[in-house]
Each structure stands twice: as C-alpha cells, then as structure tokens.
Amino acid sequence: MVINEREVELESLLLPGSILKKEREKKGLRCLDVARDLKLSEKFVSYLEQDHYEKLPGPTYVKGYVRSYARYLNIAADELITQLDNLYRNEDLPRKRLINIRRQARPSDPLIKWASIAIMILFLALSTVWWRSHSDTSSTTIKDVGDVPLESVVNPLTNDLERELEHTWGTAE
C-alpha cells in the first residue's frame, strides 16, 4: 500500500475519532458491529468517532476506548493516544463529576458503638422482663394455703384417692 505525503499530512491533522471512523468505513464495518464487539454502547462509539469526548465518562475512559477501538481495527493505538494527549495537552479532557460515595461505617465509629450498646441494653431489659413473667409463680407456700391440712397440700392426689375409697367401701378400719 503506497501512501503519499499528502495523505500522511492530512491524517496528522485528523482527530483520533475521525481516523477511527475512516478506518472502520474502509473495513466495511457498521458502528453497531463495533459497539457490540467492543461491548460499548453505539452512542459511545459515535461520540468517539465524532471526537465528542466531553460526552464520555472521563479522560482515562476516553483513552481506553480509543485504544480498544484502534486495536479492534488493527491500527496503531499508541499513535492515536499520543495524538489525543497532544490535542489536550494544554487543556484537560472534560470530566464528568463523579457521585460522592460516603465512606462505609466501621465498628469503631461512635455511632456504631452507641447503637450496639443500646441494642444490648434493650435485649437485656426485654430478657429480664420475659424471664420474670415466665418464672415459676405456681409454687405455693404454707402461708398461701391457710386453714387447709398439711397432708392435702403435701400429697393431694393420695388424699383424694383415700376419700374416694372410703366413700365407696366404707371405712377401712
């Protein structure tokens, strides 16, 4: 393939996206095919080809996309990256503002410590209330029995059986 000096000069004036688009069209590929194979949205590929880098996530991503796209088309990726760097040498690539992510809470944070202590105190209080409400209150004392004979309290089943036998058979004596 013979390249004359005018084509080289013209290509050096083209932006990286224009070079990528020209090469894609030479190979007869559709923008959709490139997007699918590179696992990018068709919109991103279009932004790259139109050199609308401000619509892409950030400079690092732009360089990565250009590098992947160039490798996909089997053209020199380093030259395009150098050209991209030269293009934005004096001005930084536009950056999208990232979402602020709050740091993850750690066990040593005061809020976590106090919340844990409060939960433990609440658990102990509820356990105590439950234990007291379910403790054995059915046991009776002599004081509660009053005038009932001690034998009927000590062994009520035997006394009831003896009374039943006496009633049925009469006195055993």
Instruction: List the domain boundaries for the chain.
Output: 11-87, 145-173
pLDDT of 125 above 50? yes
Mean pLDDT lowest for which of 37-51, 97-111, 116-130, 144-158? 144-158
- Determine contact, residues 65/59, Cβ cutoff 8 Å: no
Q: What's 28's DSSP letter?
A: T
Task: Give the distance from CA 14 to its chain's centroid.
Answer: 43
Instruction: Specify the 3-state DSSP secondary structure of 109.
Output: coil
Rounded to whole angstroms, how far apart are CA atoms 121 and 8? 78
Sign for the CA dihedral angle at 83, 55, 73, 39 comes to: positive
Summarize the confidence of residues 117-131 as an average pLDDT.
95
How many angstroms separate the CA atoms of 148 and 146, rounded? Answer: 6
Residue 118 has which token pair? 């409060």
Instruction: Answer yes or no: is pLDDT of 118 > 70.
Output: yes
Q: How many CB atoms lie within 10 A of CB 48?
A: 26
Instruction: Decide: pTM greater than 0.75.
Output: no
Residue 8: what pLDDT?
Answer: 45
135-145 per-position pLDDT tens digit = 765 554 555 55
The Cα–Cα gap between 113 and 53 comes to 47
**Would you identify the CATH topology of the domain 11-87?**
434 Repressor (Amino-terminal Domain) (1.10.260)
The answer to whether residues 35 and 20 touch, using CB atoms and an 8 Å cutoff, is no
Look at 24-28, 64-68, 117-121, 154-158 and tell me which has the smallest mean pLDDT.
Answer: 154-158
Q: Over the stretch 15-60, which tens digit does the pLDDT of each residue have?
A: 888 899 999 999 999 999 999 999 999 999 999 999 888 888 878 8
**Which carries the bigger pLDDT value, residue 97 or residue 130?**
130
